[in-house]
A and B are shown apart, each in its own frame.
Chain A
Amino acid sequence: MNALANPEVGKYLNEYFCSAFQKVATFRIVNGQKQGGNVAAYFCAPDGRVLHCVAGPVDAATMLREAKWVVETTKKAMAEAKGDGAKFKAFFRKAHADRLRNEHGIVVEAITFDPPAEQDPNSALTYNDPTGRPLAPKLPPPPIDGPDVTLRARELQSAALAAPGNKVLLDRRGGRVALNNQGQVHHLMAAHCMRPIETLYGAIFEGILGEKISTKPVQVVTPFPWRPEGRAARNGPVRN
């Protein structure tokens, strides 16, 4: 949350965005210790379609840079598309593919056409979760053509493969490429940008951040339920 406490970030977000938050996952407290917990920030059109996302906690400079990129790219896309929604979507997906190539050294072909949905979410035959909402579909990212053929891309990929915590993926020829959280976001967005947030958040929060989506905000776990803190845990969250 440090990035959002920055006055410059706050001023920019308040000027160009209307903000809201949702609790989508559990925050575990085991023996009084915080465990897990994560955050994802979505930049959306007013109809809820996702333009960009920042997965995981970032510093103020990164958050500001990403917010400015969304605003500037939206302006360019609006000027380019001239009211054509398909052109706007294609422009944004290509912009994500370009960033993936320039900042992570990986080449993908942006998917600019969405095939019709295989399942009708309102059909009686579609499986729904117990809350009645359809499950977030599994979104396949576009195939990776491979690392870019520049020296800079090779350096970026060497560093990414050596860095701990990066996700290793295979390209079309079976070569290994590595991506951090933001690289995975661009990879996903090159095919699924401008999809509604309710179809994308599962792929971001579970697929990239590795958090289990839950409607229970705080879960208190204690191995000693007979002790006072355990009794308090059953009645409500322990606050330390």
Chain B
Amino acid sequence: MKIILPLLAGGLLLSLTAAAQAQLEGIDPRTGKPAEPVVKPLPQPAPKPVARDEGSTCGDYGTAVLFEESPKDAAARAKKEEKLVFVLHVSGNFEDPRFT
């Protein structure tokens, strides 16, 4: 008994030390292979506002489209930049989504 007890205690101590080391080094004690790193999903960055050109006097009103002050302004800008014109006709207040 005097011999067996210290041997058991020593064995237990060794296994505890190995387990602690495995935990520190990220090794799976059952397989002995490096454990899969736990990666928390990073929070998604908020969508960046659409880049505004210099001289633009418009807003996007909660959309991804830049709106000029009036169709006349849009037409003048389109002629200058050789683009087409997109005109939205809406019921209600476009500026307030509750009334669109």
Contact = CB atoms under 8 A, between A and B. Distances in A.
Contacts of A36: 91
A42 B86 contact: yes
Contact of A218 (B64, B74, B92): B92
Interface string B68-93: 11110111011101011111111111
B100 A20 contact: no
Interface string A1-44: 10011110111011011111111111101000000111111111
A40 B78 CA distance: 20
A166 to B, nearest CB: 22
A228 interface: no
Interface in A57-87: 67, 70-71, 74
Given A217-B93, A218-B92, A4 B100 contact: no
B63 interface: yes
Interface residues of B, number: 38
B89 to A, nearest CB: 5
Given A10-B64, A48-B71, A43 B84 contact: yes
A92 interface: no
Contacts of B58: 19
Nearest to B100: A1
A20 B73 contact: yes
B46 interface: no
* Prevailing SS type, chain A contact patch: mixed
Contacts of B71: 20, 22, 48, 197
A70 B86 CA distance: 11
A18 B47 contact: no
Interface residues of A, number: 51
B65 interface: yes
A9 B88 CA distance: 14
Contacts of B90: 21-25, 37-39
A46 interface: yes
A21 B89 contact: yes
Given A5-B64, A9-B64, A47-B75, A16 B89 contact: no
Interface of B: 47, 50, 58, 60-71, 73-75, 77-79, 81, 83-94, 97-100
Given A10-B60, A18-B85, A42-B88, 4 more contacts: A14-B50, A22-B71, A27-B92, A48-B75
18 contacts: A16-B83, A17-B86, A18-B68, A18-B74, A21-B67, A23-B92, A26-B92, A27-B100, A29-B99, A37-B92, A40-B88, A42-B88, A44-B84, A44-B86, A46-B75, A47-B75, A217-B93, A240-B98
